[in-house]
Chain A
Amino acid sequence: MAYVAVKGGEAAIAAAHAWLAEERRGDPAIPALSVDQIAQQLGRAVDRVMAEGSLYDPDLAARAIQQAQGDLIEAAFLLRAYRTTLPRLIDTDPVATEAMQPRRRISAIFKDMPGGQRLGATTDYTHRLLDFALPDAPPPAREVEAEPANMPRVTDMLGAEALIEPDEQADTAPGDLTMEPLAFPAARDLRLQALARGDEGFMLALGYSTQRGYGNSHPFVGELRVGEVAVSIAPPELGFTIEIGDITVTECQMVNQFGGSKISPPQFTRGYGLCFGHADRRAIAMALVDRAMRAAELGEDVKAPAQDAEFVLAHCDNIEATGFVEHLKLPHHVDFQSELETIRAMRRDANAGL
C-alpha cells in the first residue's frame, strides 16, 4: 500500500550504501586508486581538503578524497568529523613564517628585494592547453643548490618607514572557534581562523567582489610565500620548546591603500591570508576578505557584503552550508502538510470574501 512506500527503511538505506560502494570503486577491470597516488598526484585537492577540513594530514586527506569520490567538500567534512574526535593535547607556538626558506616567494610591489623573487612550482605562466600526452615520467627539473638567504617580510620593509600600519600585537591568547562558539562582533583572530578553513569558492567570490567596487580596498600583493615551517610546542613540564614537525603553508601579505580617517593618518593597511598547503588563490582571497572585514575598525563605511563580518563569517563554512542547503532533500511532509492546510484555509477565506 502507498503508505508503506513513502516511508523509508533500513533495507533501502543499506541498499543505497551498497550501491554507493560499488559506484565509488567504478569498473573493477580498471585498477583501484591508491591513497599514495592521490596524495602524490592530486596535491592541490589534498591541500584544499586539509585547509577546509581544518586538519593537517595529507594521508588522511587523500583517504577522504578517495572515500568521497573526489567531492572535496564531502572529503573536508569526513576530515572534520574525524578531527573533532581527536584529543587536544597542547597549543603550538605561532609558526614563524618570516623564518621560512620559501619554495616560492613573490612580491608584486617591488621588482626585487632582499632574498629575491622565487617562482617555485607554479602554473602562473603555463599556457592552458590540454596536454593530450602528459608524460608518465617527465624529465627531471634542473636542480641548483639554493643559497640559504635571509628573506625578511616585504611588509616589514615598508613598516620600517612607518608607511604601513604596525602589525597588531595581541596580549591575550588567540581564541579557538572550534572550542568556543563564534560570537559577534568577532575579533580578528577568530575571523582569520574562520577564513583559514572557509570555503575557497565563497572567499574567492567575496574577494573578487571587493575588486569590483563592493568594498574596494586597492589591494597589492605585498608578498606571497609558500614553504615549510616548523611547528613547535613548549610543554609546561619541559620548560623549553621542541619542534614536532614541518607543515607546508601559503602566506599572503596584502598591502592596501588607505586615505586615512579621523583616527588614523594616511598609510598602507594590511590584509592577511594563511592556509595549509600550496594555495595561492585561497591565501590571496582570504587576505582580501580579511582586509574588507576590517572596514569598521578603520573607520570606513560598511556597505558591501565582504565588509559585513557577521555575514561573511556566518556563511563561509562550507560544511555548515552544504549541510543546511542539502537538508532540504530530507522529508518535510509534516511541515508541508500544515502549509497545505493553511493555504487551503486562506483560499477558502479569500473565495468567501469575493
Chain B
Amino acid sequence: MQGYNFAYLDEQTKRMIRRAILKAVAIPGHQIPFASREMPLPYGWGTGGIQVTAAVIGADDVLKVIDQGADDTTNAVSIRGFFARTAGVRTTTKTEEASLIQTRHRIPETPLRADQIIIYQVPMPEPLYKLEPGKAKARRRHALAEYGEMHVKLYEDITRFGRVAVAYDHPVMVNERYLMSPSPIPAYDNPKMHRMAALQLFGAGREKRIYAVPPYTSVRSLDFEDHPFNPGRAAQNCALCGSGESYLDEIIIDDQGGRMFACSDTDYCESRRGGGLCGGGLRGGGRRG
C-alpha cells in the first residue's frame, strides 16, 4: 500500500517485536514487555496479534485469520483484509494451507503442523490479574513461581460449586515453570496447546506483552488429582456436518426456544461437508450421511 511499509509496521519496530518474540520463545510462558504501537485498528480488536503477525509475516506466507473459530466473522474479515492490503500476501480460510494463523478465542480443530505458526490475540496476558491487579506484584509472583493463590481460587470454586467455574481462559502451567493465560479460548481448546507441533505466539497490544509456547512444549491446565481438568463442550452433534467432537456454537433459531448447534470452526465444518459428511440440520441430532 502506498505510503506504508510492508505489513504496515516500519522495520525498526518489527525488529523490536522480533527481539521480544525471541526472548519469549526462549522462556516459554514468560511475558515479555514490548513497546506496543498504536495500530490502525482499536485496542481490544487484536492489536497485539496484529503486531506479532506483522513482525513475522513474509511475502511468501499464507495467512488465515479466525475469530470465534470462523473465517467470516466481521473482525476476522477486517484483519485479513488489513494484511491483504498492507502486505499483499495470499490469504486462505483452509487451516492446512495456512503458514500463519491469527486467532481470537479459538484453536482450529485440524491439528497444526511444525511448519505453521499460530498467533493468539490476548486481552489480558496476566493470568493473575483477577487475584493481583498490580503488575509489579504479579511479576514478583511469577519470579518466585508463587502460584498458590490460583490453586486456592480453583479450590474455592470446587467447595462452592462442586467444580472449577472457569469456562474459558483456564490458566495453564507452561513447561512446569510459568503460569500463563491461554487467552480466552474455551477450556475445550486447552489440551490442543500441549506439545503442539506449531509455534504458538501470543500478543497483547494494549497491555504491551508478548509471550510464546515453543513447539512440543508441555502445557498443563491447572487442576487437582481428584478434580481433573474438564474441557467441556455442548453434548450435541453439529447440525451441519454431524461432528460429535468439535466445539459447537449454540444458535437460537426462533423465539420458541428452538436452537441448533454447529461447528464454531467453519473451515473444519465445511471440509467435512465437502467430504460427504452431513448433520441432521434443524431437526437436530447428527448423523453421518
Residue A338 lies at the interface, judged by CB distance under 8 Å to chain B: yes
Contact: A85 with B123, CB < 8 Å?
Answer: no
Alpha-carbon distance between A322 and B47 when the two chains are bound, in angstroms: 13
Chain A residues with CB below 8 A from B81, complex form: 10
Alpha-carbon distance between A178 and B34 when the two chains are bound, in angstroms: 10
Interface of A is mostly: helix
Chain A residues with CB below 8 A from B34, complex form: 181
Alpha-carbon distance between A337 and B106 when the two chains are bound, in angstroms: 12
Chain A residues with CB below 8 A from B165, complex form: 342, 346
Contact with A along B20-59 (1 / 0, CB 8 A): 0000000000000111111110111101000000000000
Number of A-B contacts (CB under 8 A): 162
Q: Who on chain A is nearest to B75 by CB?
A: A330
Residue A138 lies at the interface, judged by CB distance under 8 Å to chain B: no
Alpha-carbon distance between A319 and B38 when the two chains are bound, in angstroms: 9
Stretch at the interface among B144-152, B212-220, B248-256: B248-256
Contact: A6 with B251, CB < 8 Å?
Answer: yes
Instruction: Determine the interface band of chain B, counting residues with CB < 8 A from chain A.
Output: 35 or more
Stretch at the interface among B66-74, B94-102, B194-202, B221-229: B66-74
Stretch at the interface among A182-190, A222-230, A248-256, A277-285: A182-190
Residue B237 lies at the interface, judged by CB distance under 8 Å to chain A: no
Chain B residues with CB below 8 A from A349, complex form: 161-163
Q: How far is the CB of B4 from chain A (nearest CB, A)?
A: 6
Alpha-carbon distance between A101 and B39 when the two chains are bound, in angstroms: 38
Chain B residues with CB below 8 A from A182, complex form: 208
Chain B residues with CB below 8 A from A338, complex form: 167-168, 186-188, 232
Chain B residues with CB below 8 A from A350, complex form: 161-162
Stretch at the interface among A32-40, A76-84, A105-113: A76-84
Residue B83 lies at the interface, judged by CB distance under 8 Å to chain A: no
Residue B128 lies at the interface, judged by CB distance under 8 Å to chain A: no
Contact with B along A327-346 (1 / 0, CB 8 A): 10011111101111110011
Residue A98 lies at the interface, judged by CB distance under 8 Å to chain B: no
Q: How many residues of A contact B (CB 8 A)?
A: 52
Interface of B is mostly: loop
Which residues of chain A in 165-214 are interfacial with respect to chain B, using CB atoms and an 8 Å cutoff?
178-185
Residue B105 lies at the interface, judged by CB distance under 8 Å to chain A: yes
Contact: B42 with A345, CB < 8 Å?
Answer: no
Alpha-carbon distance between A340 and B232 when the two chains are bound, in angstroms: 10
Alpha-carbon distance between A13 and B33 when the two chains are bound, in angstroms: 34
Contact: B73 with A7, CB < 8 Å?
Answer: yes
Q: How far is the CB of B120 from chain A (nearest CB, A)?
A: 13
Residue A2 lies at the interface, judged by CB distance under 8 Å to chain B: yes
Alpha-carbon distance between A185 and B135 when the two chains are bound, in angstroms: 9
Alpha-carbon distance between A171 and B168 when the two chains are bound, in angstroms: 48
Chain A residues with CB below 8 A from B208, complex form: 181-182
Residue B245 lies at the interface, judged by CB distance under 8 Å to chain A: no
Contact: A339 with B42, CB < 8 Å?
Answer: no
Q: Who on chain A is nearest to B47 by CB?
A: A323
Residue B77 lies at the interface, judged by CB distance under 8 Å to chain A: yes
Contact: A7 with B206, CB < 8 Å?
Answer: no
Q: How far is the CB of A75 from chain B (nearest CB, A)?
A: 13
Residue A139 lies at the interface, judged by CB distance under 8 Å to chain B: no
Chain A residues with CB below 8 A from B185, complex form: 334
Chain B residues with CB below 8 A from A13, complex form: 74, 77-78
Q: Are A333 and B249 CB-contacts (below 8 A) given A184-B135, A323-B206, A327-B44?
A: yes
Chain A residues with CB below 8 A from B106, complex form: 334
Contact: A337 with B250, CB < 8 Å?
Answer: yes
Chain B residues with CB below 8 A from A181, complex form: 33-36, 208-209
Q: Who on chain B is nearest to A180 by CB?
A: B35
Q: Are A345 and B253 CB-contacts (below 8 A) given A81-B38, A320-B43, A332-B105?
A: no
Chain A residues with CB below 8 A from B104, complex form: 330
Alpha-carbon distance between A85 and B104 when the two chains are bound, in angstroms: 25
Contact: A322 with B42, CB < 8 Å?
Answer: yes
Contact of B163 among A1, A319, A325, A346 (CB under 8 A): A346
Contact: B206 with A320, CB < 8 Å?
Answer: yes
Chain A residues with CB below 8 A from B67, complex form: 330-331
Which residues of chain A in 1-50 are interfacial with respect to chain B, using CB atoms and an 8 Å cutoff?
1-3, 6-10, 12-13
Alpha-carbon distance between A23 and B33 when the two chains are bound, in angstroms: 40
Chain B residues with CB below 8 A from A319, complex form: 38, 42-43
A-B contact pairs, 6 of them (CB 8 A): A181-B34, A323-B43, A332-B68, A335-B168, A335-B184, A338-B187
6 more contacts with CB within 8 A, not counting A184-B136, A334-B68, are A2-B251, A85-B9, A181-B36, A323-B47, A331-B68, A333-B250
